[in-house]
């Protein structure tokens, strides 16, 4: 029984289920008589002070700036492992998903920008519909069981990982506030120490964690988003262990699995998906920001991913795996519109500066999140239905069909 429970907890669909349940719980509480407790919970002031250094933030920001740094640490570890020894180390496995990822980023961003071009503040959210939630997308695919060809799983995983990589770059470049050079200098020093430790072959994870905390605090104070510290730390963790010892990277990635999948991401979803529907009508979805997000996820993602993949194959730039049918690739393209966790995170970054400056024209965060939830839900259901009919009825029968 214990072994069966552990297998289920490690399953690809489990994290998505926990995140979904957390989001549903947040919606229910935010629209109940207990909504004031939900708001109080998120606004609890958490203070950490060490001498003159003081970090005083509400619990919501500790989740978004602190716990999500651990999520990005796991993402960074996964990226490094895949590029050094995984599927991304083989160029032939990367080309087609990279092309799909480029389309899946450009087209949703363009749709959002066209709809919101008249509002400079709203335009800051252009990256919201470009993200793909790995946990949810892979979870939906896992619901189809052994009918899913290995090549299709590889395509989705690679595309989603590239999406995460691009999201990290977007956050670093476009969602950085005014820089504090003193804190940035300290962050540079911490980064140098991490690189020196890596070059010298130091394999103690605790030491990397200690320097990583210094890096996180420095980035938090510098204006660069603190979650990027997780990615930087991951790049420094050694892949190879000492002779006869396990890989530090593999060990840390395994240690973080349950924490991230079953605690951090569900807590993030619970903290950010609690939208009060009081006074909202279906017409809210016609406002530029939620409409741009919704169409970007539901239309832009599938159009961008599939058209770029189809066009590159037709032009002879790359070959489509013979085991995959076009309808199967289209179903995965639709599934990429499940932005959820990453889209919620980027929406917070996109509009937090306007909120801090008390800009009157700042988009309503509730309507933006409603666009994310609606777009992700529709994309997940449509993608699942398309794959349900496009995949072979039994495992092992992977004969492709034409569009």
Adjacent-strand bridge partners of 58 = 45
Task: Report pLDDT for 5.
Answer: 67
Whether the pLDDT of residue 220 is over 60: the answer is: yes
pLDDT per position as a tens digit, 26-42? 999 999 999 999 999 99
Range name among 191-205, 216-230, 310-324, 383-397 with the lowest pLDDT average: 383-397
Residues 6+ apart with CB under 8 A from 137: 156, 160, 335, 336, 338, 380, 383
The architecture in CATH of the region 2-176+225-390 reads Up-down Bundle (1.20)
**Contact indicator for 209, 383 with CB cutoff of 8 Å:** no
**Tens-digit pLDDT profile for residues 151-202:** 888 888 888 888 888 888 888 888 876 668 888 899 999 999 999 999 998 8
pLDDT for the residue 126: 94
Alpha-carbon span 353 to 361, nearest angstrom: 12
Query: How big is the chain, counted in residues?
Result: 403
Q: Is 391 left (phi over 0), alpha (psi -120 to 50) or beta?
A: beta
Angle (CA) 347-351-158 rounded to 5° is 25
What is residue 8's predicted lDDT score, i.e. its pLDDT? 65
């Amino acid at each position: 029984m214990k072994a069966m429970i552990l297998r289920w907890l490690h399953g690809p669909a489990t994290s998505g289920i926990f995140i979904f349940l957390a989001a549903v719980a947040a919606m229910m509480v935010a629209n109940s008589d207990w909504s004031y407790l939900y708001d109080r919970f998120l606004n609890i002031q958490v203070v950490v002070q060490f001498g003159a250094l003081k970090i005083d933030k509400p619990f919501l920001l500790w989740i978004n700036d602190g716990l999500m740094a651990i999520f990005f640490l796991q993402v960074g570890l996964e990226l490094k492992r895949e590029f050094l020894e995984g599927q991304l180390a083989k160029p032939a496995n990367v080309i087609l998903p990279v092309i799909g990822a480029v389309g899946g980023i450009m087209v949703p961003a363009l749709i959002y920008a066209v709809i919101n071009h008249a509002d400079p503040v709203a335009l800051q959210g252009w990256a919201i519909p470009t993200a793909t939630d790995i946990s949810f997308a892979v979870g939906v695919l896992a619901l189809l069981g052994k009918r899913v060809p290995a090549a299709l799983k590889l395509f989705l995983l690679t595309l989603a990982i590239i999406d995460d990589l691009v999201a990290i770059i977007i956050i670093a470049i476009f969602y950085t506030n005014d820089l504090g050079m003193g804190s940035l200098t300290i962050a540079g020093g911490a980064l140098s120490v991490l690189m020196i430790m890596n070059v010298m072959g130091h394999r103690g994870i605790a030491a990397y964690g200690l320097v990583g905390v210094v890096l996180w605090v420095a980035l938090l104070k510098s204006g660069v988003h603190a979650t990027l510290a997780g990615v930087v730390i991951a790049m420094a963790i050694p892949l190879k262990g000492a002779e006869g010892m396990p890989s530090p990277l593999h060990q840390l990635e395994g240690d973080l699995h349950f924490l991230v999948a079953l605690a951090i991401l569900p807590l993030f979803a619970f903290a950010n998906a609690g939208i009060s529907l009081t006074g909202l009508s279906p017409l809210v979805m016609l406002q530029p920001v939620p409409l741009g997000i919704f169409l970007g996820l539901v239309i832009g993602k599938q159009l961008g991913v599939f058209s770029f993949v189809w066009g590159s194959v037709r032009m002879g730039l790359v070959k489509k795996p013979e085991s995959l049918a076009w309808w199967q690739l289209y179903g995965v393209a639709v599934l990429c519109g499940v932005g959820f966790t990453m889209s919620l995170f980027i929406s917070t970054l996109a509009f937090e500066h306007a909120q801090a400056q008390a800009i009157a024209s700042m988009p309503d965060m509730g309507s933006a999140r409603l666009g994310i939830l609606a777009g992700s839900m529709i994309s997940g259901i449509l993608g699942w239905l398309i794959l349900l009919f496009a995949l072979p009825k039994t495992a092992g029968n992977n004969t492709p069909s034409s569009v």
